[in-house]
Amino acid sequence: MATTSLLIASAYFFCSIPTAYLLVKALKGIDLRTFGSGSVTGSNAGQALGKWAVIVVGILDILKGAAPVWAAQALDQSTSEQMLAGIAGVIGHNWSAYLGFQGGRGMAVVIGVMLALAQLELLLFIIVAIFGIAFIGNIPLVMGLAMLLAPMWAYVFDEDAALIWGFGTIVLLIIVKRLTGNWTPLPPDGGRRTLLNRLLYDRDTKERHAWVKRTGVDNRAPTQEAR
């Protein structure tokens, strides 16, 4: 029990390390929470630094998500305990202890958890994502759908129950993160539409370009660089 508790706590604080935030802050001096979409993600880092940052942050966050699960496996922990470590990592990434419980959206970290724990589900996740992006084109919508199917894949393939409830929990965490963002308040009017846009498109508006080109996010004055 002590080992499991230490593992979960370590997973949370390790995955709380905000990769995208630190990279952009170091190279441009910009607080990602006040730039573009306001999300502490690889895609927003790409808006600040260029497309290469999306790849770098994505790889680092995938490895960040996989690391706690690999640690649990090295300690010969059960599948349930490995999944708990993965879930703690997703929570840490989405609600970072180092950023006032703000953070990323969790998808790259989730991919890392799947890489370490559920390779078949990851393969199906990638297939759904590729076909969805090709035919629908809306990445947040497609990624959300691909994640929503993960518990079903685990059930269909008669996986350990820990994978089923674990992926179900992760789906709920992704939904909560989308709906709350980085504690972004709802507009006085149009709250229902905003919540629907957040759930489907992971932003307050359906139109992506206007959203990522915003300035002064979170009611804080934008820096000169963010302009």
What is the token pair recorded at 227? 């302009």
> Average model confidence (pLDDT) for the chain?
89
Displacement of CA 202 from its chain's centroid (Å): 11
188 pLDDT higher than 80 = no
pLDDT at 225: 31
pLDDT at 203: 82
223 pLDDT higher than 60 = no
**Once rounded to an integer, what is the mean pLDDT over residues 213-223?**
45
pLDDT at 215: 52
What is the token pair recorded at 97? 């202890």
Domain boundaries, the chain: 2-217
φ/ψ of residue 102, rounded to 5: -105, 170
Global pTM value: 0.88
What is the token pair recorded at 7? 């593992």
Query: Picking from 106-120, 122-136, 165-179, 208-222, which range would have the lowest pLDDT averaged per residue?
Result: 208-222
Separation CA 162–CA 184 (nearest Å): 33
Please name the residue that has the structure tokens 């129950």. Answer: 161
Displacement of CA 177 from its chain's centroid (Å): 8
pLDDT at 222: 33
φ/ψ of residue 98, rounded to 5: -95, -5
pLDDT at 37: 81
pLDDT tens for residues 115-135?
A: 999 999 999 999 999 999 998
Query: Picking from 7-21, 22-36, 81-95, which range would have the lowest pLDDT averaged per residue?
Result: 22-36
162 pLDDT higher than 60 = yes
Interior CA angle at 175 toward 172 and 177, to 5°? 110
Separation CA 105–CA 171 (nearest Å): 12
